[in-house]
Amino acid sequence: MSQPYKRYLQEILIDSETLQNRVVELAASINEDYADTRKLLLVCILKGGVMFLADLVRHITVPHSIDFMAISSYGDGVRESSGRVRIDMDLRQDIADKHILIVEDIIDSGHTMQYILSLLETRQPASIRICTLLSKPSRRLVPVHLDYVGFEIPDKFVFGYGLDLDELYRNLPFVGVCKPDMQVGDDC
């Protein structure tokens, strides 16, 4: 099949144009809120946040630096976050006295973000805010205050635009819903 992802795609939830328009809106809010801020550091959570970050920063006019952190949750199965979170790659720089804007792909149960926040808060940044492309409010198990949210979405497993389907299809320019109970086989 020339486009193997189509086997798994139930529907396109957010098309490319809608994503790009919303990214521009989010960047405008960030530019306004951080207009007088020095030492702004965008912390991208790998790997899911990378597409969003790359598009977002192209519209951010406030001087800022970027850094990356890789986090994974492990345990109960691939489509559920277990609450057990592990840091795979830490930031390269000291964040003390910096204004931190975390850039994440999706907040589901909230466990991952709660972990990231509690970790970064110990390092005495000047402030921490969260910018997430997607949020599934109905799935939340721990409360997390979100400062910038691209889209609130229903309780469906989505992929594309940075989000993976068993590590594949992060490159798709849209956010699609995965057909229920589909497993990505070795054939693609």
By annotation, the residues acting in catalysis are 108
Residues 41-60 that bind ligand IMP (CB under 6 A): 48
Binding residues for Mg ion, rule CB under 5 A, total 2
39's CB contacts (< 8 A; 6+ apart) are 97, 98, 99, 126
CB of 22 to ligand IMP, least distance (A): 17
Rounded to the nearest 5 percent, the helix, strand and coil shares of the chain are 25, 35, 45
- Looking at the Cβ atoms of 112 and 184, the one nearer to Mg ion is 112
**CB of 23 or CB of 85, closer to Mg ion:** 85
Q: Which stretch binds Mg ion (CB under 5 A): 4-12, 48-56, 57-65, 142-150?
A: 48-56
> Which long-range contacts does 120-128 make (Cβ < 8 Å, 24+ apart)?
120/43, 120/95, 123/94, 123/95, 123/96, 124/95, 124/96, 124/97, 125/95, 125/96, 125/97, 125/98, 125/99, 125/100, 126/39, 126/97, 126/98, 126/99, 126/100, 127/99, 127/100, 128/100, 128/101, 128/102
Q: Of 8, 157, 161, 169, which lies in the binding site for ligand IMP, with binding defined by CB under 6 A?
A: 157
Binding site partner of 110, from Mg ion, ligand IMP, none, Cβ cut-off 5-8 A by kind: ligand IMP
107-126 residues in contact with ligand IMP (CB under 6 A) are: 107-113
Instruction: Specify the amino acid at residue 87.
Output: I
Toward ligand IMP, which CB reaches closer, 23 or 34?
23
**H or E stretch including 114?**
helix 111-121
Q: How many residues interact with ligand IMP (rule CB under 6 A)?
A: 16
User: Of the two residues 63 and 154, which places its CB atom closer to ligand IMP in the complex?
Assistant: 154
Q: Indicate whether 48 belongs to the interface with Mg ion (CB under 5 A).
A: yes
> Which residues sit at the interface with Mg ion, rule CB under 5 A?
48, 105
